[in-house]
Amino acid sequence: MRTQVVSPLRQRMIEDMKARNLGAHSQRSHIDSCKRFAAFLAQSPETATADDIRRFQLHLVESGLSIPNRNRIMTGVKFLFRVTLRRLDLAAEIYHLREPQRIPQVMSPEETRRVLAVATSLKARVALSLGYGCGLRASEIVRLKVKHIDSAQKIIRIEQSKGRKDRNVMLSPEMLDLLRQWRKVRPTRDDAAVAPGERWLFPGRRRGRPTTTRQLSRLFHEAADGAGIRKGVSLHTLRHSFATHLLERGSDIRIIQALLGHDKLETTARYARVATGMIANVTSPLDLLSQPRKKPTRKPGKKPDPDEKGPAPA
């Protein structure tokens, strides 16, 4: 068994990230980015120059990486120079590109109904229903515990999700009924050693761990294929569809923002661009041109405006 040796520079960077309370995903991403930069240099990043950073950014372009991936990599490298190495002059050489704004992929209500109807198991139907019925991310679904389901207040509590934020979402009667059905058949092999409220809603194959987002994604694609969905959809499409369908039915956009856990209203407002029901009901100004123009009518008893011109004198 070979023990991996951590270099002093990487150890300092790990300590800096922990001190700033970065999440595990961000830490892994930053380390991977710096490993990629070091492999490009073929030496320690401590020896890097401004020209090395310029050449590395050009290398990423030539590698065909997408703009979001290039920005992600350079964010990790910038953390190394700005925080760990204290090389603000080199950190200033790093630029980020404006990412292309794409509208999210959304399924129609009928397509969503078909996906949930053909789910291969009760576990799949309950998990996918949480994605669509509550607007949950895959990571939020797999991390749900029994204590998060509050049937008395009819809410589901999401703890420390993206951005380390808590929020509540609605617990509909149909969703509650599905959860009660799942409780009767849910695997209980790990329950003996765990307090009732701390038990995973969807236990995984690994002892003491929940099911993985990868398994959840596989269940979704099986259901989507069975429902005959041919457009490029993913498990996250259920969350997009949740927001879009609420907007089309007239829900307040700020309520949707709170349910999704968005910091900025602009993030939620993008669903207005894919709400086909709302878009289709907008009257085009072209149609208004062919309609007879309405003449303004004066209300009975209203005195004429002294500024208005009366009939010309005889």
Q: Is 236 a catalytic residue?
A: yes
Residue 139 near residue 23, CB atoms below 8 Å:
no
Q: Which of 175-189, 212-226, 229-243, 261-275 has the lowest mean pLDDT?
A: 261-275
Tokens of 148: 């998060």
Q: Is 132 a catalytic residue?
A: no
Q: Is 18 a catalytic residue?
A: no
Active-site annotation holder among 10, 157, 199, 236:
236
Q: Is 271 a catalytic residue?
A: yes
Work out the pLDDT band at 208, boundaries 50, 70, 90. Answer: confident
Active-site annotation holder among 30, 78, 132, 271:
271
Active-site annotation holder among 70, 239, 240, 245:
239
Q: Note the pTM of the prediction, 2 decimals.
A: 0.75
- Domains of the chain listed by start with CATH number: 8-91 (1.10.150.130), 109-276 (1.10.443.10)
Active-site annotation holder among 137, 145, 186, 245:
137
**pLDDT over threshold 80, residue 116:** yes
If we measure between CA atoms, which residue out of 249, 268, 270 comes closest to residue 260? 268
Q: Is 245 a catalytic residue?
A: no
How high is the pLDDT of residue 167? 94
Instruction: In whole angstroms, give the CA distance from residue 263 to residue 241.
Output: 19
Q: Is 59 a catalytic residue?
A: no
Report the C-alpha dihedral over residues 262, 267, 270, 275, rounded to 10 degrees: 0
If we measure between CA atoms, which residue out of 17, 263, 229 comes closest to residue 106? 229
Measured over all CA atoms, what is the biggest interatomic distance in the chain, rounded to whole angstroms? 113
Work out the pLDDT band at 310, boundaries 50, 70, 90. Answer: low
Work out the pLDDT band at 96, boundaries 50, 70, 90. Answer: very high
Instruction: In whole angstroms, give the CA distance from residue 229 to residue 250.
Output: 26
Residue partners of 203: CB distance under 8 A and separation at least 6 = 186, 187, 189, 190, 209, 210, 211
Q: What is the pLDDT of residues 231-266, one digit of tens each?
A: 999 999 999 999 999 999 889 999 999 999 999 988
Residue 240 near residue 106, CB atoms below 8 Å:
yes
